[in-house]
Homo-oligomer: A and B are copies of this chain.
Amino acid sequence: MSGAETIAKDANAAFSVLKTLINEERSFALQKIHDSLRAHKDLILESNRIDMKNAADNNLSSSLIKRLDLSNSGKFDSMLQGILDVAKLEDPVGKVTLARQLDEGLNLYRVSAPIGVLLIIFESRPEVIANITALAIKSGNSAILKGGKESYQTFKIMSDIVNKTLQQETKVPEAAVQLIQSREEVGDLLLQDKYIDLVIPRGSNELVRNIKANTKIPVMGHADGICSIYVDDDYDIVKAVRVIVDSKTNYPAGCNAVEQLLLNDKIDDNDIIYMIGALIDAKVTVHVTPEVKSKLTTLDQEYIKDTVEDSFDKEYLSFDISVKFVESVKDAIKHINIHSSKHTESIVTENKERADVFMKGIDSAGVYWNCSTRFADGFRYGFGTEVGISTNKIHARGPVGLEGLMSYQYQLRGDGHIVGEYVGGGGEKEFHHKDL
């Protein structure tokens, strides 16, 4: 048995036990993890300093080193608080979403249940391991964790503490949370579709694409965030400028930053200049079609470029945006449903009817009216910690919190009932199908 197979099989066996625990037992484990991490704060920060020193020795960027730093003001405490916050959430397991009497004494229930074994691959911020551990245990899922190598020492000490605490003080099996270390093992784990139910990659587009290409296990996440804004011809110019500039410049490296601007071709020329001018004032380079370009002769040409073949199929992740005209909201929907990555799209209009057409016609995880695409985020939606943003259309979509880590099961409770006595199975009895 390979190392990866052992890890996956152990995680699966731990899941079988974890699945039977009640909410109090799962939440108690989170409380104990919180207590142990707090008690070992000095030890953890010591390991964290080794990671920081290695990062400095390897000439990593100062922004990355800052992200590694767990001693930053309040970061450790807010990490600990996050664990308690998740512990206090309502139990996501065992929610009944359908209850139906099939016949006298034969009752069907659809009940929420954990998915199983999650393989979570994440970046270097050390506090993420605490978030994900909390979400996994609370939802009754086993987690196999692979963190960025820059935080290795911090991850190592934290996962040792978590495992020891689980084993000594709780009913949650130790193997319910496993940290893996080498990149080779990730490749092998991606082959364990018999034991692993879902892969959640949090990282670069390239990482996600690479994982999707190399596993049969379902992958939850997104490779691209190609978001769009459509400005209708019935618009408020102040709202339009606010939404466009915020969506582009608030954090251009975010997957929810806007990458394409579709302008209704009946918008007043002065307003076009005003909107594009606001982007240029914010140091955004606009990539425009010839029709748009002809309207922009009075603006700083340094920030104006011609669109090229893939201008409407790319994620800039920078101070760049593609701009073109469309004829109508239907035209905008058609363009977006072909070119977007189905993440988040926004319409700017004062016309409710047209907003509704847009929101019904667009095939993306988020469809917005008169607001910034940057709102697509678990914290802003009020989900607390999020494990990622999904552009999948199967299972969880958009920002994914606790609910996205759940599946369901059908429970049927009978008293010796057999199919052979019912219509369709050879007998005469009819089903009641009465909702309870």
Contact = CB atoms under 8 A, between A and B. Distances in A.
Interface stretch (A127-135, A284-292, A358-366): A358-366
A220 B392 CA distance: 14
A375 interface: yes
A198 B218 CA distance: 13
A75 B357 CA distance: 40
Given A363-B15, A431-B380, A397 B419 contact: no
A256 to B, nearest CB: 9
Given A418-B246, A419-B250, A369 B412 contact: yes
Contacts of A236: 416
Interface in A145-188: none
Contacts of A20: 333, 357, 360-361
Find the residue from A220, A251, A415, A420 having the highest chain B CB count within 10 A: A420
Given A357-B20, A381-B108, A419-B380, A412 B368 contact: yes
- Mostly, the A contact residues are mixed
A366 B113 CA distance: 12
A380 B102 contact: yes
Given A106-B371, A360-B20, A366-B410, A380 B422 contact: yes
A88 interface: no
Contact of A394 (B197, B238, B360, B369): B197
B394 A407 contact: yes
Interface band, chain A? 35 or more
A36 interface: no
A125 interface: no
Interface string A411-436: 11111111110101110000101000
A417 to B, nearest CB: 4
Q: Please give the count of copies of this chain that the complex contains.
A: 2
A248 to B, nearest CB: 11
A392 B197 CA distance: 9
Contacts of A359: 411
A120 to B, nearest CB: 15
A408 interface: yes
Interface string A2-30: 00000000001101100110000000000
Nearest to A16: B337
Contact of A365 (B16, B334, B362, B410): B410
Given A115-B393, A333-B16, A397-B408, A419 B372 contact: yes
Given A19-B361, A19-B363, A250 B372 contact: no
Contacts of A408: 397
Contacts of A334: 13, 16
29 contacts: A19-B361, A20-B333, A20-B357, A102-B375, A102-B382, A106-B371, A113-B363, A198-B394, A218-B392, A220-B394, A239-B416, A243-B416, A246-B419, A355-B413, A362-B409, A366-B411, A367-B410, A368-B412, A371-B413, A371-B416, A371-B417, A372-B417, A375-B414, A380-B431, A394-B394, A395-B395, A397-B408, A397-B409, A398-B409
Interface of A: 12-13, 15-16, 19-20, 94, 100, 102, 106, 108, 113, 115-116, 197-198, 212-213, 216, 218, 220, 236, 238-239, 242-243, 245-247, 250-251, 333-334, 337-338, 355, 357, 359-372, 374-376, 379-382, 392-395, 397-399, 407-420, 422, 424-426, 431, 433
Given A243-B418, A370-B416, 14 more contacts: A13-B334, A106-B375, A218-B394, A245-B418, A246-B419, A250-B419, A250-B420, A355-B413, A364-B409, A366-B412, A374-B425, A376-B410, A380-B431, A395-B395
